[in-house]
Amino acid sequence: MRHRRSRLSLAWVCFAVLGLGLLADDSPAQQPRPKNVILPTEGTNALRDRYKDRNVSQRLKVLREGSETASAAKPEDVQAIDVLAQWLAYRITWPETQDQKEAMSRAAAELDRELELLNRYKPQNQAFADLLTKQLVVRLKEVLQNEKPIASVNGARMLTSLARFGVEDAAEALAEALKDAQLNDGAKYYALQGLGRQFARWYDAGAEGQPVAKDRKEKEPRYAQAVIDALERKPPFNLRYAAQKEERDGLREGLRFFRREAVKALSQIRAPGLADASGAVKVRPAQTLLKVVNNENLSPSVRLDEQVEASLGVAFLRSRLTETYQPDYAAQQLGAFVAEFARRSGDVAGADAKTKAFPWKYHAARLGDALEAMRADVKTLKDPKAVAHVGQVVNLALRVLKDIEVRGSSTNVGDLKIWLDNNPPPNSTLYRGVADSTVKPIALPEDDESGDKYQPEKKPDPTKKPEAPKKPDAPKKPDDKKDPFKKK
């Protein structure tokens, strides 16, 4: 029973980290959140009466079904749509919703049902769908300002549902939420999910060849940078200072849980780099993902599942979307990770229960599929040396991963490591002409206690004189009496 209590306590710490914002950014003070404001301000009964009004319900019925076309020029349409938007959004600020066990889930499910109805009657109700979803974003942004985490977290959850439905205004609201220093991490976790949905929609295979929205070139780099900032965020305090080891472990796991969602969101971007108007790479998703793969300067140190997700994101990149991208450099880093993945899978016999429970075969199969996609992607490149290098790395890595998929470990990892050590990639940077687009070699996993790399920087004291260098000690003379080989 003691072990079970420990696991439950650890889980609760993780949820506290995300839900209560214990790891909020250390930013300058801003205006405080409204304290548990119940919306609308005139009271719950006022909204309930408006929603149950017969004229409103009848108007919503004909607009939803598309019997009549909704119009922003008709006051009765604007009023009915806003009442519905308030009803769906505001109830998560009501104590009666927050206090009941299933009421919050029912409120979120009602929004999903409304979105399903919008889909059912398309395209005849498109005008109504556009007006309603736009107004829902407005009302949910008000909910996000609520100080009570249960309201703001579920508000972000609903915005994520809208992003899944294809509402780009919802993605804009979630990008703003991700940069809000006062918003709790539970809401930001859903913001990452929603932005990942938006990236996935932009890069959906069926969307290729279709006209790109004019504002996407401005939005995508900004959204991607917001995700990268969340991914690379340092803890606002040294985790070693937590009193109890269980608390330290919980805080680390909460950070990693949050960071893994950022990795998943960033992995939905298929462009290796996002360029500005001049063509220069402005945001570097590929380089950020490789930093996760190689465990470079991230605190706390990355978990294996984070590295796997980041590797998948790199392998599924589409080289042709960024002219200066050099995939042979990325393939070299992924090959090194596969070798490390294989080494750790071979150490399972003497590992702890958590390592033994890791789905090695499943992730080996996922990595294999992704590397095959990478090999197919680069075949059309004009750099034959880079194409050949990627192909060789993938061939050797697939042999290793296939062994793990079948047997749980590999005997071919030595061939991969020797080849990587003796065959550097033809290109020494990730982006052509960008000198700092490199990553450090993959770092070995660190234990939790040594993995807290964040330390406040100590500024040198300008009034203190530097110490003079110490003179080296003079060599000691041999002691003749202790020399057994000295001739007598």
Q: Kindly report, residue by residue over 273-322, the tens digit of the pLDDT.
A: 998 777 789 999 999 999 999 999 998 999 999 999 999 999 999 999 99
Residue of 252 and 330 predicted with greater confidence: 330
pLDDT recorded at residue 281: 93
| pLDDT value of position 25 | 44
Write down the mean pLDDT value for the chain: 86
Tens of pLDDT, residues 156-211: 999 999 999 999 999 999 999 999 999 999 999 999 999 999 999 999 855 555 55
Residues 6+ apart with CB under 8 A from 187: 144, 149, 152, 153, 155, 156, 177
The predicted pLDDT at position 107 comes to: 94
Which run of H or E residues covers position 230? helix 216-231
Once rounded to an integer, what is the mean pLDDT over residues 65-84?
A: 97
pTM of the prediction?
Answer: 0.85
Alpha helices (H) in 232-326, listed in sequence order: 245-266, 285-293, 304-315
Supply angle C-alpha 333, 313, 367, rounded to 5: 70
Whether the pLDDT of residue 29 is over 50: the answer is: no
How much is the pLDDT for 390?
98
Q: What per-residue confidence (pLDDT) applies to 276?
A: 79
Stated as kind and residue range, the H or E segment containing 14 is: helix 2-20
438/428 Cα distance (integer angstroms): 8
Residue 389 has pLDDT above 90, yes or no: yes
Measured at the CA of 220, the angle between CA 25 and CA 129, to 5 degrees, comes to: 100
User: CA 68, CA 71: separation in Å to the nearest integer?
Assistant: 9
Among residues of the chain, what percentage have pLDDT more than 70?
78
Share of the chain above pLDDT 90, in %: 70
Does 130 score more than 70 pLDDT?
yes
Write down the pLDDT at residue 205.
59
Beta bridge partners, 169, equal none
Residue 462: per-residue pLDDT:
56
- What pLDDT is attached to residue 467? 59
| pLDDT value of position 242 | 61
Summarize pLDDT for 448-476 with one digit per residue, the tens: 444 444 333 344 555 665 555 555 555 55
Q: Cα–Cα distance between 147 and 201 in angstroms, integer?
A: 31
For residue 340, the surrounding DSSP H or E stretch is: helix 327-346
CA–CA separation, 305 vs 448, rounded Å?
Answer: 15
Task: Tell me which residue has tokens 């703003």.
Answer: 176
In the block, residue with structure tokens 């890069």: 203
Residues 6+ apart with CB under 8 A from 417: 339
Give the list of residues 6+ apart from residue 123 with CB closer than 8 angstroms, or none: none
Q: pLDDT value at position 342?
A: 94
Dihedral sign (CA 327, 329, 331, 333): negative
Residue 443 banded pLDDT, cuts 50, 70, 90: confident
Residue 347 has pLDDT above 90, yes or no: no
* Predicted pLDDT of residue 207: 56
Tell whether the model's pLDDT for residue 40 goes beyond 70.
yes
Give the mean pLDDT of 422-429.
98
Asked whether residue 30 carries a pLDDT value surpassing 60, the answer given is: no
Residue at token pair 């000691």:
476
Q: What is the pLDDT averaged over residues 350-356?
A: 66
pLDDT at 11 over 60: no
The predicted pLDDT at position 35 comes to 60
**Sole residue written with tokens 């959140």:** 33
How much is the average pLDDT of 261-276? Answer: 96
The alpha helices in 21-102, defined as continuous H runs, are: 44-52, 54-65, 75-90, 95-99
pLDDT at 283: 97
Q: How far apart (Å, rounded) are the C-alpha atoms in residues 310 and 177?
A: 23
**pLDDT value for 458:** 46
* Count, residues in the chain: 488
* Torsion (CA) 54, 55, 61, 63 in degrees, nearest 10: -170
